[in-house]
Structure 1
């Protein structure tokens, strides 16, 4: 059985990065964290994201006055975004402002409208997808990513949990691992997921995929796996949510701005797939001598299946 929860899960919790996010990751952190913040903290986060140059010149008191909040709220917001204090956030704001002035930071585009021509829909979706991928890459904690890859590489068995749109991502990860010889299973049925999680033990890995971080049907099997001794990994857009309590390694995804025509389930899928691909490629790199022949064999088997049959 596991050691104490508080001692074991600290590695996966928000704030465990080796240093504060750089300027490139600040806007991504705001987009990811703002929906789960209090209204007063949202005002601070959205203000610094929309006007980094102006806010970088403000003291903590000045920013509190501009946002109609308190100094304590400004400091709490800074810490939630990954900065030890407001001084560190100001430095990141100055860096972000410099990036925007140089054109390195892209401009925000409008949401897709009902009457947009299809060419405009393509352009806006392409921009949002690119931004989501860039935000996810900038905010991804490579220390936890490396640790997660290590756990997967030596895993006796891998169970992957996801429901709804996330179940498609879970199936993608399972299929990838199966093709290089791993014992991998995805369980979209929550009852099956929990009953199989009971069978996990030390040396196994449980991977949960949930954008909200609050999906009970995903959290429950991860909790059971955690208690049984498996190494647990969570891929989520809300690192402060409940799923983080049961994750040894927490991998944060970013999401494009939600709109009526593009809900979170659609926009989160792109960033989840990026993280899954990073995990898989990392495992394939470390097991190259066996992974490469396995992939070649699967390609050949599929090619043979689709080749014209000889009579």
Structure 2
């Protein structure tokens, strides 16, 4: 008599309801993400109407933790998480392969969603007092130099153009040799705006260290807690979660937004005649 073969076991598919997926994934989450999971399961309706800052506050975690939790659940960000929570389903992990990529969120949409999430987080943690401190330094400076290498050089050139538009002289340098030459003309009381996604570029750190020795003020547009941030008088923080695949693109847009705010506030303080009438201070 031939031996009976046990029926083959098919792996159980992940639950399609997002709340069930959260319950199933809970033991594998980090302690901070577990706090978010527990709060969402207790308040599934409330989370749909709250911004990332409020969710982080209610769950007792940081805003990046909320975004990481959403991605752990197979979503592209908070907005995608809310949509799937409202719909009561999520794309199962088992079908998140190359063949399913076309059915899931397209790459272009993902870039836009990651940018929206990052800009929302930036707005939620934005500190007007920090911007005021940066504006005061730029307003009092005789010379404004912007340092940025690679893609940050494009951001520096854009800021130079914006300053020029409002009649404020500024100089953008994206070449280390030209940066070293600018050090020969900088004087105490001038300002350098250093731009970097990671804040860890050795060439930029060396230049900023030399700038500080000259008594020149430094405004860093970079990731908070980075080596560059530690060298600056004022930091305009533009951190992007490491889990974001298109991190460089998102960081560049955050840098552009922060520098636009800085340029406009400096122009307002100086009473630039090129500002539209409705923007002129009363």
In 1, the alpha carbon distance for the partners of 2:162 and 2:207 equals 21
Residue in 1 that maps onto 2:252: 269
SS at match of 2:257: helix
Residue in 1 that maps onto 2:36: 52
Structure with higher Rg: it is: 2
SS at match of 1:202: coil
Alignment of 1:287-298 (within 5 A): 287-292=270-275
Residue in 1 that maps onto 2:12: none
Gaps of 5+ in 2: 1-27, 41-55, 68-77, 85-90, 277-282
In 2, the alpha carbon distance for the partners of 1:276 and 1:143 equals 15
In 2, the alpha carbon distance for the partners of 1:265 and 1:53 equals 29
Is 2:223 the partner of 1:202? no
SS at match of 1:292: coil
Shift of 1:269: 0.8
Shift of 1:289: 4.0
Alignment of 1:174-185 (within 5 A): 174-185=160-171
Structure 1 residues 91 and 189, CA, compared in 2 at 3 Å: closer, same or farther?
closer
In 1, the alpha carbon distance for the partners of 2:117 and 2:240 equals 9
Shift of 1:223: 1.6
Shift of 1:244: 2.1
Residue in 2 that maps onto 1:223: 209
Is 2:245 the partner of 1:279? no
Q: What is the TM-score with the length of structure 2 in the denominator?
A: 0.63
Aligned residues: 209
Shift of 1:53: 5.9
Residue in 1 that maps onto 2:156: 170
Aligned residues of 1:170 and 1:186 also touching (Cα < 8 A): yes
What is the Cα-based RMSD across aligned positions, in Å?
Answer: 3.5
Alignment of 1:52-131 (within 5 A): 52=36, 54=38, 93-94=59-60, 106-108=79-81, 115-116=101-102, 120-131=106-117
Q: What is the TM-score with the length of structure 1 in the denominator?
A: 0.58
Is 2:129 the partner of 1:143? yes
Aligned residues of 1:205 and 1:231 also touching (Cα < 8 A): yes
Structure 1 residues 216 and 120, CA, compared in 2 at 3 Å: closer, same or farther?
same
In 1, the alpha carbon distance for the partners of 2:175 and 2:117 equals 32
SS at match of 2:219: strand
Measured against aligned partners, the alpha-carbon deviations of 1:235-281 in whole angstroms (never above 9, x if no partner) come to: 112x222112320001111325645xx44322211111111111111
